[in-house]
């Protein structure tokens, strides 16, 4: 439309004065509600304002006070003792599958401990553990379809492992070696996988959320054009801190107005680095905001893997109804760990607070109790699993550490699809420089050494 207006201007054509410009005319499209069409019936109890079409009139001057509303409830299926509290709940998994999921939780927990230590020893540059959040990531991912598209924040190793990311893949990324699909460019824990439909993690917070809305819209369009494609959703994970970024609000609003099949899963773990939720927001968590955006929302106990599974399963159904719509899940949990290896959380929270939480509730212990009550788990199995997982992690660790760094040429590639003349020149200059000063650089660690910089 805009182009048409400009082309008129360029050709010096004059529009008839009484006609609105083409761009404005398009607004009068039938089916699009215009303000003037909302006439009020005589004695109506509400006025259909264009911005609030079902608001009843009241003669009582009263502000809504947030504290007068009850907090949104938190759904749980199984309590912290491993006992079922939702009588309508029946596990939808075979015993074998429950054990597999449990082992995935153990795996990330074990990998986290080892890699945290490895960072402390200087073996990798950075790490983030997800202690306390294993149920929410593994549980939600366990009910998604392989074709669903996932955007993560950075503490979702459970999602990766549940979707089939191998220990070797974790380690290759963490060591930024030649087998890392991110080509050695990203900080540790910024995983990505084309095969598993998980976009590569980016450090800035909440940027993935509006992207998820657009991606969900793309999936919806794709299916509208070709109905033989199985229905798919987009799932985006984020923390309660990230929900303060403008992008969070933009995301929910655009996902709602464009009816995007996107599931937004908030990990509300109580802390954004040092900032407690009291400094982060004053409303009823993140869930209450979903209502404001007209989005179906649920709050769940994030330490209860069954609750997370049930909620995510249902959310996926909802997201695909009525041509698609967004759903918000707020999973309540607690960040047992430090924010990252760069953080010492005891500078801002008491150690006893963390110890209390660990004693009170632990998502892994909760599922273990449930399994033990069902007679499918034992101390012996626990011990054996933990040991074999630890062996697997260390094996993958030492194998990945041996792999060379990627070719140094990768520093210039993928900025554009094809290297620009400017970049080619810089690459040639770097090669000349490295040849001139061989003693100043250690290129042996890079696959192919200096030769990878050949044109």
Partner 1 sequence: MANRFHRLTLARHRRLLDSHTRYYASQAALASTPVRRLNVPIEFGSTPLLHHTAKTLSKTPGLPSSGASSRLNLFQAVNAALRTALAASDRVLCFGEDVAFGGVFRCTAGLQDEFGKLRVFNTPLTEQGIVGAAIGAAAEGRKPVVEIQFADYVFPAFDQIVNEAAKFRYREGETGANLGGLVIRMPCGGVGHGALYHTQSPEALFCHVPGFRVVMPRSPSQAKGLLLSAILESKDPVIFMEPKILYRAAVEEVPDEAYTLPLSKAEVIKTGADLTIISYGRPLYMCAAAIEAAEKDRPGLSVELVDLRTIYPWDRQTVIESVVKTGRAIVVHESMVNFGVGAEIAATVQEAGFLRLKAPVKRIAGLTTHTGLAYEKYVLPDVARIYDGILATVDY
Task: Please report, as ranges, the residues that interact with partner 1 according to CB under 8 A.
Answer: 110, 113-114, 117-118, 121, 123, 125-126, 176, 183-187, 190, 202-205, 241-242, 244-247, 272-275, 279-281, 342-343, 347-348, 355, 358-359, 362, 365, 386, 390, 394, 397-398, 401, 405-406, 408, 410-412, 415, 420, 422-423, 426, 430, 433, 436-442, 444, 446
Name the residue nearer to partner 1 (CB basis): 258 or 358: 358
Least distance to partner 1, CB of residue 305, Å:
17
State which residue, 86 or 447, has the beta carbon closest to partner 1. Answer: 447
Give the residue with the Cβ less far from partner 1, 29 or 436: 436
Nearer to partner 1, 398 or 454 (CB): 398
To the nearest whole angstrom, how small is the minimum distance from the Cβ of residue 347 to partner 1?
Answer: 6
Q: Smallest distance, Å, CB 413 to partner 1?
A: 9
* Nearer to partner 1 among residue 41 and residue 402 (C-beta): 402
Residue recorded with tokens 């259909």: 48
Smallest distance from the beta carbon of 198 to partner 1, in angstroms? 18
Nearer to partner 1, 55 or 125 (CB): 125
For residue 102, the minimal CB distance to partner 1 (Å) is 15
Q: Give the span between the Cα atoms of 163 and 152, in whole angstroms.
A: 13
Using the minimum distance from each CB to partner 1, give the nearer residue, 135 or 176.
176
User: CB of residue 31 vs partner 1: minimum separation in angstroms?
Assistant: 34
**At its nearest, how many Å lie between partner 1 and the CB of residue 180?**
9
What is d(CA 291, CA 286) in angstroms, rounded to the nearest whole number? 10
């Amino acid at each position: 439309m805009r182009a048409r207006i400009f082309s008129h201007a360029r050709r010096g054509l004059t529009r008839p004065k009484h006609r609105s410009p083409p761009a404005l005319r398009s607004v009068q499209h039938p089916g699009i509600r215009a303000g003037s069409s909302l006439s009020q019936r005589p004695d109506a109890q509400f006025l259909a304002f264009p911005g609030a079409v079902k608001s009843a009139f009241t003669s009582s001057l009263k502000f809504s006070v947030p504290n007068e509303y009850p907090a949104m409830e938190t759904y749980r299926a199984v309590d912290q003792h491993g006992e079922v509290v939702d009588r309508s709940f029946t596990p939808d998994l075979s015993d074998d599958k429950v054990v597999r999921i449990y082992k995935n939780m153990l795996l990330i927990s074990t990998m986290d401990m080892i890699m945290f230590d490895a960072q402390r020893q200087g073996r990798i540059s950075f790490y983030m553990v997800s202690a306390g959040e294993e149920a929410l990531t593994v549980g939600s991912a366990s009910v998604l379809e392989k074709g669903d598209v996932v955007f993560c924040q950075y503490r979702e190793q459970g999602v990766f492992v549940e979707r089939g990311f191998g220990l070797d893949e974790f380690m290759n990324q963490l060591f930024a070696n030649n087998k890392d699909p991110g080509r050695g460019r990203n900080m540790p824990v910024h995983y990505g996988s084309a095969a598993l439909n998980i976009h590569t993690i980016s450090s800035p917070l909440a940027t993935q959320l509006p992207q998820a809305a657009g991606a969900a819209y793309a999936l919806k369009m794709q299916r509208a054009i070709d109905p033989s494609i199985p229905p798919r959703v987009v799932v985006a994970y984020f923390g309660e801190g990230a929900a303060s970024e403008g992008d969070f609000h933009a995301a929910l609003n655009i996902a709602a107005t464009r009816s995007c099949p996107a599931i937004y899963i908030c990990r509300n773990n109580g802390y954004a680095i040092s900032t407690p939720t009291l400094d982060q927001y004053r409303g009823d968590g993140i869930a209450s905001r979903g209502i404001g955006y007209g989005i179906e929302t649920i709050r769940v106990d994030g330490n209860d893997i069954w609750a997370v599974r049930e909620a995510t399963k249902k959310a996926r159904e909802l997201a695909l109804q009525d041509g698609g719509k967004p759903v918000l899940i707020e999973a309540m949990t607690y960040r047992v760990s430090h924010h990252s290896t760069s953080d010492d959380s005891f500078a801002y929270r008491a150690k006893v607070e963390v110890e209390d939480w660990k004693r009170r509730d632990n998502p892994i212990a909760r599922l273990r109790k449930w399994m033990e009550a069902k007679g499918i788990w034992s101390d012996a199995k626990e011990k054996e699993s933990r040991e074999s997982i630890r062996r697997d992690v260390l094996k993958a660790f030492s194998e990945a550490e041996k792999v060379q760094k990627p070719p140094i040429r990768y520093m210039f590639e993928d900025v554009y699809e094809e290297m620009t003349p400017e970049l080619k020149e810089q690459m040639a200059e770097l090669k000349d420089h490295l040849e001139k000063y061989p003693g100043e650089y250690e290129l042996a660690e890079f696959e192919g050494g200096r030769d990878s910089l050949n044109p």
